[in-house]
Structure 1
């Protein structure tokens, strides 16, 4: 669920079948555009000054700490139930925009891919997805960066733990002494509990949705635990926090699964169900102290 953004190409293709019945308008949020552009310019400066950790070095850390416990010690804190408005600002101050920088092949600008993450320790320890730090595309990335809601850009310096099977990555960022706002982790996730999600789907930065945990299951590839949730998310929300109504992390946004009626991979029928999948906090807890 990573969104690779290339601002050189703003052309949108709309199918003729939908054009007659659905009005499509390009109403991109200005503040989101300004946020991403400002972050991109700051990242460009860091890369030009060689004040970043090369992506190849992060790959070495990823391989070295594959399926390892991060060793990060967390203290559980009790939280009170929050209103929706309180929850938004609780999540916003801890949710991060995660971007890998790359040089565009059609212009001289540096671009940022779009994904999400969140802080779990005030000293600069953050969580995102494994697939965010191990992209399958062909871009040559320079480095990995985390941006908070105030626009502060932090260089990702190390991969403390990486789990492909659980689609989790625990990273260290350079804060230069600044204390970050950490989200507390719940001990477990509960089917049916109310949850909130925050991420940056399709560059809609710090976008919050609400739902419930609808079930627990295992994924088809490795038999690893997952949860299905009804809160909406999309491309760019990978690695975002899923929290309960007290603001404790109960999951990490991971993937979507589309189910069609009467179709196959080549000729799909009507879309019947779009399942939103997250990694449960019970799995994340295995990689921290």
Structure 2
């Protein structure tokens, strides 16, 4: 009788243990959630830059956006005249690559006065330095935003939070979605990214930008293909490294840290394309301007 009682208790404990495990599993399944957080450190970085931009605009120490628009028209599809030396670099580890890109990647923003508060705000885009004297690259669509908003000026911010005024558009290509700009460095020499002479399908690449204001965000992938845009008849390429809104104009580099492209756009592909209902998202293409196109707007120094 005593043995039977012990067996009975043991059975109860086993059953309780199984039931407890099941409950824990059920609770875990029902409490898993995706938290919608703001960009990590992004708001603080952008807010600090906006304060500095506000001071520059208030003191009239910026280049008016209207003047930059005139430059854009004057220097449309012209060679910038900037001389760049192509240099071979050593391969880098992932950590080395991050710091290599961070030193030369910029946050690019057009300043505008908010219609809901008295503050100056910055739009979000990316760019990078190609010459130590303050020559930078971004997209054409970054310097030609919607005319529905009145912009004061265009500014570039480095990873240390230093704000630079964009003073001139040296070259602008709408077909290639490229813009080469001059910023006022006050004599400071900047860290420039070397440019590759061409880009190779299948090679490993890294991208840095500020997607959704996640500042200095790096991803890795490969060049998945090269093709010619059917509408603009210009060479493009796609990569598998992730990027999104705010990364426009960011650098894409090979495993030696040499620029092989410039982030340009994304294109979504759905199962129901061509029908009334789009269906499920199947493929999000990451479109990049090849460095071979950028090189056409630069002079190679001997």
* TM-score, scaled relative to structure 2: 0.87
Structure 2 CA distance for partners of 1:237 and 1:265, relative to 1, 3 Å: farther
Partner of 2:76: 66
Q: Deviations over 1:155-174 (max 9, x none)?
A: 00000000000000000000
SS of 2:212 mapped into structure 1? helix
Structure 2 CA distance for partners of 1:227 and 1:263, relative to 1, 3 Å: closer
Give me the whole-angstrom Cα distance separating, in 2, the residues matched to 1:266 and 1:112.
37
Partner of 1:146: 156
Task: Tell me which of 42, 50, 55 is aligned to 1:40.
Answer: 50
Partner of 2:136: 126
Give me the whole-angstrom Cα distance separating, in 1, the residues matched to 2:79 and 2:159.
29
Greater helix percent: which structure? 2
Give the count of matched residue pairs: 270
Q: Deviations over 1:230-279 (max 9, x none)?
A: 00000000000000000000000000011111244752111110000000
The alpha carbon displacement at 1:36 in A equals: 0.6
SS of 1:202 mapped into structure 2? helix
Matches within 5 A, 1:1-289: 23-136=33-146, 138-264=148-274, 266-289=276-299
SS of 2:109 mapped into structure 1? strand
* TM-score, scaled relative to structure 1: 0.91
Q: Deviations over 1:67-117 (max 9, x none)?
A: 000000011222000000000000000000000000001111111000000
CA contact (8 A) 2:166 2:183 kept: yes
Give me the whole-angstrom Cα distance separating, in 2, the residues matched to 1:198 and 1:235.
12
Give me the whole-angstrom Cα distance separating, in 2, the residues matched to 1:226 and 1:65.
22
Give me the whole-angstrom Cα distance separating, in 1, the residues matched to 2:215 and 2:196.
25
The alpha carbon displacement at 1:34 in A equals: 1.2
Give me the whole-angstrom Cα distance separating, in 2, the residues matched to 1:178 and 1:51.
18
Q: Deviations over 1:41-65 (max 9, x none)?
A: 0000000000000000000000000
Give me the whole-angstrom Cα distance separating, in 1, the residues matched to 2:205 and 2:254.
5
SS of 1:255 mapped into structure 2? strand
Give me the whole-angstrom Cα distance separating, in 2, the residues matched to 1:151 and 1:265.
47
Give me the whole-angstrom Cα distance separating, in 2, the residues matched to 1:250 and 1:61.
26
CA contact (8 A) 2:40 2:214 kept: no
Give runs of ≥4 in structure 1 deviating > 6 Å.
Answer: none
